[in-house]
Chain A
Amino acid sequence: MATSQELADFLTQVERRAFKQAAYAVRDDHAALDVVQDAMLKLTQSYGARPASEFPMLFQRILQNTIRDHFRRQKVRNLWTTLFSSFSSDEEDDRDPLETLSPQQEDTAVNPQAQLEQSQTLAIIEAALRDLPLRQREAFLLRYWEDMDVAETAAAMGCSQGSVKTHCSRAVHALAAALRKKGVEL
């Protein structure tokens, strides 16, 4: 059984990467922090009595499910917004949908460190990661960033090992292509 210290140590170890994972998926830092907090609470409340060795797998699974829950809630919210907006004026229809994405993409540009080559490369990678399909991004981050093996990744994603390999391969090729397109050679 894990002690509270072991739990705290584990969360300290994974919280930053978990935040980034959530941020790539939901594209909003505040929402990503909420997702991570929910995942942490679910882990401790439901699985706090489990041995510490089980935490990495459990936490990753909870985190992925919490991200999916966020999208489900967002979908319902968007449905209601669409319903109500149909009663409002048409002024907003002229707005370019890409405008809503621009502040997010400019975050790295306003950062002074964005002048550095490495930071630019990182920004390109992060943008490419955000653009990946959900399952490909999940597979890539779990398999390579969280350093899970194929079986563990498959268990965390709830799919077959073959699917994990396919998603990972496609993700790496897509990221490499995105970097090449921007003139970055790995």
Chain B
Amino acid sequence: MRQEQETAKIITTLLDRGVSSLDEETLDRLAAARNKAVAAMPQRALGAEREFAGIGKFVAAYFHEHRLQASMLVLLGMLLGIFILLQGIQIHEPVGTDALLLASDLPPEAYADKGFDTWLKQSSRH
């Protein structure tokens, strides 16, 4: 493995020397290609570049750089909000159920008795 890496290093060093001796025509064509590519940079990106050039450049660039983390933070906040909301509903739900049971004409045991529901249906048919 080490031998392999050493061999690779020697080879890439030689390749680097080959790269530094490229002919002028090739270098000119590469420079032209580069300039064409830079000129083709989307206007949106260039517009944002100018926009960021003001006082808020650093802040905007920071949030753009860390947009993944910012998105995750917003998502986490939303999930937390939903969790708190659900907790609130679950807390209030038993109170409503308890009030219904107490106000009902039937005793609470009747709701737990599965046979009662069947009996009620049968008796209502007669």
Contacts and interface: CB of A to CB of B under 8 A. Distances in A.
A11 B123 CA distance: 86
Interface of B: 4-12, 14-22, 26-27, 29-30, 33-34, 36-38, 40-42, 44-46, 48-49, 52, 61, 64-65
Given A15-B30, A176-B7, 10 more contacts: A7-B37, A7-B41, A17-B19, A33-B26, A37-B37, A49-B42, A122-B15, A126-B15, A168-B4, A186-B10
A144 B52 contact: no
Interface string A122-143: 1001100000000000001001
A26 interface: no
Contact of B9 (A2, A49, A118, A144): A144
Nearest to A7: B38
B45 A126 contact: no
Contacts of B52: 1
A172 B41 contact: no
Contact of A1 (B11, B36, B40, B61): B61
A169 interface: yes
Given A1-B64, A113-B21, A175 B11 contact: yes
B110 to A, nearest CB: 64
B14 A122 contact: yes
Interface residues of A, number: 42
Nearest to A124: B14
- What secondary structure prevails in chain A residues at the interface with B? helix
A49 B44 contact: yes
A144 B12 contact: yes
A104 interface: no
A82 interface: no
A113 to B, nearest CB: 7
A11 to B, nearest CB: 4
Contact of A4 (B10, B14, B15, B38): B38
